[in-house]
């Protein structure tokens, strides 16, 4: 598998899932911002494209990443179930936990570190938006995709929907992803890449570790939806309509 500096981050992440760990290590967004070329992404991350290409060439192409590899082939029903159980559940647990850590850290260190206030406010909005977004996916989009798959296996027409075609909700979900991606990036910048200030207490550390993990999970979650689930669902619907 040969990539160049003009290959997009998204195509590399899809063709070589183990590359995701490298992108994460350099703080490169491969999901919402995945349409960038490797050259653009490396400039933003402050690393040379040659260094990134070298790192990618060291990867063992045979080694499958169990977190990502099966999802190109697995059923869409199992993929939606995996997203809900693994990623949605994680967000539902982490949002209240991180909000409460923000409260504690802000009350103790807010005057010395004024960036904590906008960070905590933005995270509060981001969390609320994500909870609403996931509810829409679980109540509307995912059941439609599961039904679409069942019907196509039985050779019947795609189910009727109030939204017409799957493109519409997918477009809305992708807009939400983009906004959330920008917000977590903003929080990363305010915190200087989640770098702890001198003398940070254990709660401060727990907050920054939690935010870093939250960002990583968000990128994996959005990658599975934007780059695998949504294109496969759109393709399946188009195929079912063409056959009908």
Contact positions toward Fe ion, by CB under 5 A?
A: 137, 173, 225
Q: Which is nearer to Fe ion, 22 or 224 (CB)?
A: 224
Six-digit token string for 83: 């997203």
In angstroms, give the least distance from the CB of 91 to Fe ion.
8
- Cα 105 to Cα 14, 99, 176, distances in angstroms: 38, 10, 28
In angstroms, give the least distance from the CB of 244 to Fe ion.
28
Q: Which is nearer to Fe ion, 3 or 144 (CB)?
A: 144
- Cα 239 to Cα 149, 197, 207, distances in angstroms: 11, 54, 46
In angstroms, give the least distance from the CB of 171 to Fe ion.
12
Q: Which is nearer to Fe ion, 215 or 225 (CB)?
A: 225
Q: Which is nearer to Fe ion, 137 or 149 (CB)?
A: 137
Q: Do 204 and 196 meet the contact criterion of CB atoms below 8 Å apart?
A: yes
Six-digit token string for 137: 């996916």
Q: Which is nearer to Fe ion, 52 or 166 (CB)?
A: 166
Q: How many CA atoms lie within 13 A of 62 on its CB side?
A: 0
The strand pairing partners of 37, in sequence order, are 8
The number of residues making up the chain comes to 244
In angstroms, give the least distance from the CB of 174 to Fe ion.
8
In angstroms, give the least distance from the CB of 173 to Fe ion.
5
Rounded-to-integer distance, Cα 173 and Cα 175, Å: 5
């Amino acid at each position: 598998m040969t990539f160049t500096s003009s290959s997009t981050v998204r195509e590399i992440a899809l063709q070589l899932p183990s590359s995701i760990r490298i992108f994460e290590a350099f703080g490169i967004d491969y999901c919402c911002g995945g349409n960038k070329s490797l050259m653009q992404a490396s400039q933003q991350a402050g690393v040379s494209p040659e260094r990134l290409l070298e790192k990618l060439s060291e990867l063992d192409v045979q080694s499958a990443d169990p977190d990502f590899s099966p999802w190109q082939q697995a059923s869409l029903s199992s993929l939606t179930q995996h997203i809900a159980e693994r990623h949605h559940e994680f967000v539902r647990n982490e949002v209240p936990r991180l909000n409460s850590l923000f409260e504690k850290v802000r009350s103790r260190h807010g005057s010395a570190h004024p960036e904590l206030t906008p960070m905590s406010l933005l995270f509060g909005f981001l969390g609320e938006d994500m909870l609403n977004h996931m509810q829409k996916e679980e109540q509307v989009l995912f059941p439609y995709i599961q039904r679409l798959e069942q019907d196509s296996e039985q050779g019947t027409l795609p189910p009727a929907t109030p939204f017409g075609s799957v493109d519409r909700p997918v477009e809305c979900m992708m807009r939400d992803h983009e906004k959330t991606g920008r917000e977590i990036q903003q929080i990363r910048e305010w915190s200087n890449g989640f770098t702890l200030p001198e003398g940070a207490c254990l709660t401060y550390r727990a907050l920054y570790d939690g935010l870093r993990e939250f960002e990583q999970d968000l990128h994996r979650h959005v990658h599975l939806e934007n780059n695998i689930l949504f294109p496969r669902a759109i393709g399946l619907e188009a195929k079912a309509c063409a056959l009908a």
